[in-house]
Amino acid sequence: MVDFIGSSPLPCVLNNQPFKTAKTYPVYRADLPAGQSEVLHEVHCCSPDEAVKVVDSAHAAFAKWKATPVGARRDILNKAAQLLSERIPQYVALTVQETCIPKGMAGFELAVLAIAHLKEAAALMSTALQATVLPDAGDGSRKYIFREPYGVVLGITPWNAPVVLALRSVLWAIAAGNTAVMKTSEFSPRCGLMVAQTLIDAGLPEGVLSIIHVDPKDAPEVTEAIIAHPAVRKVNFTGSTRVGRIIAQTAAKHIKPVVLELGGKAPMLVLDDADLDLVANHILFGGFLNTNQICMSVNNILVPRHLEAQLQRKVAKLMADNKEIFTAKPEQNLQSPHALRNLFNPASGERLKGLYDDAISHGAKVVAGQPAFDGALVQPVVLGEVDTSMRIFREETFGPVLSMIPYDSLDDALALANGTDMGLAAAVYGKDQARAFDVAKQIDAGQVHVNQHSVHDSPDMPHGGWKESGYGRLGGGVDGLREFTQIKGITVQAGQPLPFGMM
């Protein structure tokens, strides 16, 4: 087997072989103390012409992969799940080294999420892609609806959940019979290669999955060249709303559909009968997992005014009792207890400090944690007395500063929950599940969880957003698999058509 992730410099992947391009760029270690810098690896990166060559290869492989029986495709995905489970310790260590992902998050996305998505996609292929035969309409014809793959799908991956989101950028497209080109995150290319390594070692044929790395400064030009390629028929992008707009505009010029999974501002709506111990626990897990650098992370905690002080005390005590866990520390190994690391870069810390300072200047108070901002290293806090006039109410934080907002009526709570431009994920807490379910139906979001934090992600459920959180579904369940198919209708006329003169 070819070793992609152990090669130096890291290669792109073309026809299941290392593709060594003319140019490289450096990726720096993420597991060093602030102020230290060390190149982790050099990475081969594509020019526009080299990227076109990769797309040509994916296009050449499409017809054969489309014709591959579903059972054979399913066997490859199940084998990949097995291989991934065997490689978890190795891949966790490499992820922590290359990215700012905490050890716990790296293990979670590999051992729980990635393997589950592989197994779910494999299980669904036999039924979700079957043709539909319409009932007899009495017109002497038989009507069929087929779901067929697009062709080449471009998957563009982010850095913040670098393995599972790289996998999801291509997995569901491949399962549906498409071939895929993954443009890895410029900041976590080896994590993208882990996906290719696993799938190719599991038997994925040549050309079905190709990997392109891009120098950050060349990303706009190379990405536009790939989207413009006639063989690329769909784009799957996960990232910021700002870049999502650019991707959508570029694809629209070429009349190509796009899946956009963008930013979030997840509300946690606490009803007056909620279990506050459960809520406090889920605030910290859903708010501080991966240092809040997840688009579904808890942001705005909406609590009845008469329960606000009680919930604040519970959250503060839980943080204080588990201080080591809820302390951000950049250097981590597989034994580290810390749930948080540094943010993506110092600019992320400065942006978050701006949101924090604005909130404090308008009357917000720290109710849990001890605020500290040191470049990219930000210690987790929960703010109270936040209101809608503050930037932190409406802007995605993408960092460990949470907002607790009191409400006086359920109508007020729903207005707060729906009061931002984003609608990716949300959560509702209450012991009366029927009531909580009814409230969940009134929240404008692609997924709403009852008595579960908003980071909860099930591979059997379609994943995607409303409003400025995007459109389309990034895999998950029947709808997520069908997202990467296009519909073809066939009508077979069994009787005699009407004579021309009678039409």
- What integer is the mean pLDDT of 429-446? 99
Same domain, 343 and 485: no
Identify the band that residue 35 occupies on the pLDDT scale cut at 50, 70 and 90.
confident
Same domain, 474 and 377: no
Q: What is the pLDDT of residue 18?
A: 98
Residue 259: helix, strand or coil by DSSP? Answer: strand
Same domain, 256 and 293: no
Name which of 3-7, 56-60, 93-97, 409-413 the model is least confident about.
93-97
| Calpha distance 372→323 (Å, rounded) | 14
Measure Cα distances from 399 to 13, 32, 173, 405, 412 in Å.
33, 19, 31, 18, 26
Q: What is the pLDDT of residue 330?
A: 78
Quote the domain boundaries for residue 481.
12-262+469-489
Same domain, 173 and 110: yes
| Calpha distance 152→62 (Å, rounded) | 7
| Calpha distance 415→409 (Å, rounded) | 10
pLDDT of 501 over the 70 cut: no
Residues 167-215 have pLDDT tens digits of: 999 999 999 999 999 999 999 999 999 999 999 999 999 999 999 999 9
pLDDT of 338 over the 80 cut: no
> Residue 236 falls within a domain, yes or no?
yes
User: CB within 8 A of 98, min separation 6: which ones?
Assistant: 27, 29, 30, 40, 162, 188, 190, 191
Same domain, 253 and 371: no
Q: What is the pLDDT of residue 1?
A: 82
Same domain, 34 and 134: yes
Same domain, 310 and 371: yes
Strands 466-467 and 422-423: antiparallel
Q: With pLDDT > 90 as the criterion, what percentage of the chain qualifies?
A: 86
Which amino acid, residue 293?
A: Q
Q: What is the pLDDT of residue 247?
A: 98
CATH number at residue 208: 3.40.605.10
> Residue 224 falls within a domain, yes or no?
yes
> Residue 482 falls within a domain, yes or no?
yes
CATH number at residue 365: 3.40.309.10
Global confidence as pTM: 0.94
> Residue 6 falls within a domain, yes or no?
no
**89 CB neighbour count, 10 Å cutoff:** 12
Same domain, 368 and 481: no
| Calpha distance 122→74 (Å, rounded) | 5
Same domain, 186 and 302: no
Which amino acid, residue 376?
A: A
Identify the band that residue 457 occupies on the pLDDT scale cut at 50, 70 and 90.
confident
Alpha helices in 362-447 (DSSP H): 391-394, 410-417, 433-440
> Residue 495 falls within a domain, yes or no?
no
> Residue 244 falls within a domain, yes or no?
yes
> Residue 278 falls within a domain, yes or no?
yes
Q: Point out the residues that are catalytic.
A: 261
Beta strand residue intervals within 416-501, DSSP E? 422-423, 425-429, 447-450, 466-467, 470-471, 485-493
Same domain, 311 and 211: no
> Residue 74 falls within a domain, yes or no?
yes
Edge-first strand listing for the sheet containing 425-429 = 365-369, 381-384, 401-407, 298-304, 266-270, 425-429, 447-450
Residues 128-165 have pLDDT tens digits of: 999 999 998 888 889 999 999 999 999 999 999 999 99
- What integer is the mean pLDDT of 23-45? 87
Q: Count structural domains, the chain.
A: 2
Instruction: Tell how far CA 381 is from the center of its chain.
Output: 24
pLDDT of 31 over the 90 cut: no
CA torsion 484→117→442→295, rounded to 10°?
-90
- What integer is the mean pLDDT of 246-266? 98
Alpha helices in 202-240 (DSSP H): 219-228
Edge-first strand listing for the sheet containing 141-149 = 132-133, 141-149, 485-493
Measure Cα distances from 64 to 61, 446, 470 in Å.
6, 35, 32
Same domain, 36 and 140: yes
Same domain, 52 and 128: yes
- What integer is the mean pLDDT of 71-99? 96
